Structure 1
Amino acid sequence: MKTGHLVPGCKMEDMIEKERLVNQYLEQGNKDAAIKLLFDFVLACAKQGRFEAAEAMRSRIFEIDSMALDEIIRSGEIIEEEKRQAIDSEHRRIWAKLYDSLSVEEANALYFAFKKAAYQAGEIIFKQGEWKPRLYFIDGGQAKIVYFQDDTEVYLKPVRTGQFSGEEAFFSPSICTTTMIAQSRIAAYYLDSDILGVWKTTSPVLESKLQSFVSGAEKISDLLKAKEKDRRRQRRITLGGRAEALLMDSSNNPAVRPFSMDLADISRGGACFVVGIRKRETAALLLGKRLWISYLHPLMGSSQSINQSGTVVGVHFHPFEDCTVNVKFDVPLPRELEVQLEKLSLQALQDVDI
């Protein structure tokens, strides 16, 4: 966006002086001079990014002479062009698909309705159960979408650079059904839903175009339904033993040093582990992380070891105890392995009964 010192004629004191001169010209019956002065003022303010002042002076031209069509049209074109050039180039590159679907006027209306925000890692951007009808566009960094169920934080999906969030609460009057937490430093633009009312008169097609753009993304409501179905469908097999885990970065490169976890239960789609973490803040950092997991039951041969990549989708913190971590596997376990694990679990239960 353009910044810097204002050119002469665009400061507040100059605005007052220009208005005095305009009134003076009008009293003298010199309408043309008043319009030229206002037109030059529009140009000066637009060049410096003072678009509200430029729009106000353009409206003043219309008030003085609604037939001064040349000045009215040209001043409008100048304002729109200066707005277009003022759009941050990196932001426009990230959201090229959206901006390319809009007219110049619509693109300007969208960009200048945005508010900028920055968030630090661990900061809550919006919270489940609160009223915050905003649409967020991530220009840098990564966040995670989670929801809370029976005091357990459940991971839904990541939100990365070039992705958006908050669309369901933004377009329909509803509270947030999920929580969005920054996982790194976030640079974002957001819209408040109040702007939709403004656009109905100034840019009547913009809302539908924006809604069309976001409609291609996976809906949060669908993710929540899928989570519930998945939870009901997967059979959990109670099974113990030690597993080794490696954290993976965004490129799926594993860390050098592994850490240990105790298996609590497992299904074809994922597993629950007990991890020796006693601080809630530390435990929460695992949510959304990618892991490479290696597990071998004591009664299984080395060729039957489980080596799986997955995402931490749930972290349940227990005060004064170790926390439990739920991992969703990228690829389900083979059905025959599931059968074998069930046999081992049943055998362990029988041994306990004996």
Structure 2
Amino acid sequence: MSTFLSKISKLDSIQDVALLSNQGETLFFDQKNNTPGDRERASSYWNEIISDLDQPQMAEFAFTNGRYYLTRTPIGYLIIGLKNDKALEKIKQACATILTKLSNPALCKRLLLNLLTQSEDILKPNIIRELLPYADEEVATVLMFLLRREKEIAPLVKEELLLLICQTLGYCSNNDAIAVLKAFLASRKSGVNTPGEQVIEAVRISIEQLEQNHPPKTQDGLQKAPSPGVRKTVQADIPQQQQIDELLNRGKKDEAVALIMQLIEQCAGKKQFEAADRLRDYLIKINPMALLEIIRAADVIEGAKQSGIDKKHLETWSKLTEIFSSEEFSALYHAMALRSYTKGKTIVQQGSTARTLLFINGGQVQLQALNQDTLIPLSVKGAGEIIGIETFFQASVWTDQAKSLGCEVFLLSRQKLDALKEQHPSLEPKLSDFCASFQSVSAELTKTGRNRRQFKRKNVSGRISFAVLNTNGTEITTEAKGDLIDISTGGVAFSIHSSQKKNAAALFGRQLRISFQTTTTTQIIIRRGTVQAVRDIDLIGNEYSLHLEFSEQLSYSELQQIAGASPEARS
């Protein structure tokens, strides 16, 4: 729904979108050219209307300059302002879908967490209050992320936000939160800008609550060093891990910590940031009470990352530095690989499944599309532009090819971005929003008057059955159901339901066996094919479309039988 709120607010037909909690607090607000004063006035105005109408489930309001549609969800009131009635029915249908989805508490929690990571600081206290009933380890992860980055919080709401974060962590039953709260307390005591007494007291109470649920193994709260030969590896690929473990097994924890700190400084100095991060994580695992060392390790790594950014690159990507925090930009920058391509070199072939985002750092890249054996030039991209967006965010094959005209490109793989999610949960949504400003390949091809589809598609409806195959063509899953979207002699698109996006995305590139009902009830048409794209088609993200290319085309007669069996075709 957070994606829905962001997307719908950008539509030309929409004036403003607001989400108010059942207590009347603003959780989301987007109005063209709005100011904080506008938000406060609108919130007060709608709270008064809702109260006067005795908390309605749904309402419509017509004005001379447009219409408002209001609907109540389990989280609160969704209010959408439209310039006219053209999109009203679609908005109602979308809201009905959202209402059904949000009957699931897990989706309510996910929505609130997404809003929390993407909202302005001034709205975060309202969202955290709504998250309290859902307090668990997932909520704790996001709250700990915010607490670690408390220096970036807007001063106007800092005290209130810190208080709510620390209070809520006490109810999350997450053992890692104890170390984070203690580190926060230690850093505040040694700093100049110490939080108020309320925050300090909230930290102490939350630590007590958490320690009651997770009692320490020794009196000082430290993990007891295991006997030689008993210790298990905590994490793989740790530089000099054997030497560190030997020190731990002999009870020389201070020496082990000192060695880790030395290795962190060495790795950071050599720009081996992944190794440095693993060492810091290992330090937290073996001695979560080494607060000063943990804080210093983070400062060393972040300082090395910041100093390692080329100033010329900062100029090229100045727009990215405006939407990301310094830590987010630094993490993204060092997750990418810089490559140079000579003129005429093909960077990515059409049909490739490489989920890689290309940031053009210098020079130019020619985009081309092969359409019915004709190579069509689309556009030339230059420094500061990004390509590969559809493939990267939606899991699909490249529908164009990228050819170098002499360029330097940063490459970001899907795996690298996924690895940043835990520490930087808002990085991907921000990057996705930024990439949305670039024109899609489909739109560019449409401008040429060409259709990238090789086969004409028919809109159909109805159910189909499918199963996943292994490389030998053997079925490896039970049969599942999907809903038809469209079909051609060369392929089919259908929707599926999946509770997690990663499960749907895992079907990208897989072989499927598809069974179609026909106008002859006793006849079933079977085809095999490869999933060429997985796209999010649900407004809150748990319905997906699979786009499959047949290994053997349908005959025109078979196509007519399938399309004729569709209720849509018979109506």
TM-score interval, normalised by the smaller of the two chains: 0.5 to 0.7
The residue number in structure 1 matching 2:161 is none
Secondary structure of 2:366's partner?
A: strand
Q: 1:215 to 1:48 in 2, by over 3 A?
A: same
> Does 2:391 correspond to 1:169?
yes
Q: What is the rounded CA distance, in whole Å, between the counterparts of 1:116 and 1:102 in structure 2?
A: 20
Q: 1:31 to 1:128 in 2, by over 3 A?
A: closer
Pairwise mapping of residues 313-324 of structure 1 onto structure 2 (< 5 A)?
none
Secondary structure of 2:289's partner?
A: coil
> Does 2:280 correspond to 1:58?
yes
Secondary structure of 2:261's partner?
A: helix
2:430 to 205, 209, 222: 209
1:197-245 deviations in Å (ceiling 9; x for gaps): 3233232211111111111112221122222279xxxxxxxxxxxxxxx
Q: Which moved more, 1:73-82 or 1:31-40?
A: 31-40
Q: What is the rounded CA distance, in whole Å, between the counterparts of 1:127 and 1:166 in structure 2?
A: 11
> Does 2:235 correspond to 1:20?
no
Q: How many residues align?
A: 213
Q: What is the rounded CA distance, in whole Å, between the counterparts of 1:80 and 1:138 in structure 2?
A: 25
Q: What is the rounded CA distance, in whole Å, between the counterparts of 1:134 and 1:125 in structure 2?
A: 11
The residue number in structure 2 matching 1:197 is 418
Q: What's the % identity of the aligned pairs?
A: 32
1:5-24 deviations in Å (ceiling 9; x for gaps): xxxxxxxxxx64x9637734
The residue number in structure 2 matching 1:102 is 324
> Does 2:348 correspond to 1:122?
no
Q: What is the rounded CA distance, in whole Å, between the counterparts of 1:63 and 1:194 in structure 2?
A: 24
Asked whether the equivalents of residues 80 and 104 of structure 1 are also in contact (C-alpha less than 8 Å), the reply is: no
Q: 1:169 to 1:152 in 2, by over 3 A?
A: same
Asked whether the equivalents of residues 244 and 260 of structure 2 are also in contact (C-alpha less than 8 Å), the reply is: no
Give the CA deviation at 1:158: 0.7
Asked whether the equivalents of residues 144 and 180 of structure 1 are also in contact (C-alpha less than 8 Å), the reply is: yes
Give the CA deviation at 1:30: 4.3
Q: 1:52 to 1:130 in 2, by over 3 A?
A: closer
The residue number in structure 2 matching 1:88 is 310
Secondary structure of 1:228's partner?
A: coil
Q: What is the rounded CA distance, in whole Å, between the counterparts of 1:188 and 1:23 in structure 2?
A: 44
The structure with higher relative contact order (CA 8 Å, sep 6+) is 1
Asked whether the equivalents of residues 26 and 34 of structure 1 are also in contact (C-alpha less than 8 Å), the reply is: no
Asked whether the equivalents of residues 115 and 190 of structure 1 are also in contact (C-alpha less than 8 Å), the reply is: yes
> Does 2:446 correspond to 1:225?
yes
Q: What is the rounded CA distance, in whole Å, between the counterparts of 1:22 and 1:198 in structure 2?
A: 26
Asked whether the equivalents of residues 344 and 404 of structure 2 are also in contact (C-alpha less than 8 Å), the reply is: yes
2:409 to 171, 180, 188: 188
Q: What is the rounded CA distance, in whole Å, between the counterparts of 1:20 and 1:110 in structure 2?
A: 32
Pairwise mapping of residues 228-247 of structure 1 onto structure 2 (< 5 A)?
228=449
Give the CA deviation at 1:105: 2.5
The residue number in structure 2 matching 1:134 is 356
Q: 1:199 to 1:43 in 2, by over 3 A?
A: closer
Secondary structure of 2:351's partner?
A: coil
Which one-letter code corresponds to 1:201 in the other structure? E
The residue number in structure 2 matching 1:159 is 381
Q: What is the rounded CA distance, in whole Å, between the counterparts of 2:414 and 2:379 in structure 1?
A: 23
Which one-letter code corresponds to 1:194 in the other structure? Q
Give the CA deviation at 1:38: 2.4
Scaled by the length of structure 1, the TM-score of the pair is 0.55
Q: What is the rounded CA distance, in whole Å, between the counterparts of 1:173 and 1:182 in structure 2?
A: 23
Give the CA deviation at 1:78: 1.3
Asked whether the equivalents of residues 138 and 161 of structure 1 are also in contact (C-alpha less than 8 Å), the reply is: yes
Asked whether the equivalents of residues 267 and 276 of structure 2 are also in contact (C-alpha less than 8 Å), the reply is: yes
Asked whether the equivalents of residues 140 and 161 of structure 1 are also in contact (C-alpha less than 8 Å), the reply is: yes
Give the CA deviation at 1:26: 5.9
The residue number in structure 2 matching 1:47 is 269
Secondary structure of 2:420's partner?
A: helix
Q: Give unpaired runs (5+ residues) of structure 2.
A: 1-238, 452-571
Secondary structure of 1:40's partner?
A: helix
Q: Give unpaired runs (5+ residues) of structure 1.
A: 1-14, 231-354
Give the CA deviation at 1:110: 0.8
Q: What is the rounded CA distance, in whole Å, between the counterparts of 1:34 and 1:188 in structure 2?
A: 40
Give the CA deviation at 1:181: 1.3
Secondary structure of 1:112's partner?
A: helix
Give the CA deviation at 1:106: 1.4
1:44-95 deviations in Å (ceiling 9; x for gaps): 3322323233223323322332111111112112101111111222222211
Q: 1:148 to 1:55 in 2, by over 3 A?
A: closer
Give the CA deviation at 1:164: 1.6
Asked whether the equivalents of residues 248 and 256 of structure 2 are also in contact (C-alpha less than 8 Å), the reply is: yes
Q: What is the rounded CA distance, in whole Å, between the counterparts of 2:299 and 2:437 in structure 1?
A: 33
Q: 1:133 to 1:52 in 2, by over 3 A?
A: closer
Secondary structure of 1:224's partner?
A: helix
Q: 1:229 to 1:152 in 2, by over 3 A?
A: closer
Which one-letter code corresponds to 1:143 in the other structure? V
Asked whether the equivalents of residues 22 and 37 of structure 1 are also in contact (C-alpha less than 8 Å), the reply is: no
Secondary structure of 2:437's partner?
A: coil
1:67 to 282, 286, 289: 289
Which one-letter code corresponds to 1:206 in the other structure? L
1:250-288 deviations in Å (ceiling 9; x for gaps): xxxxxxxxxxxxxxxxxxxxxxxxxxxxxxxxxxxxxxx
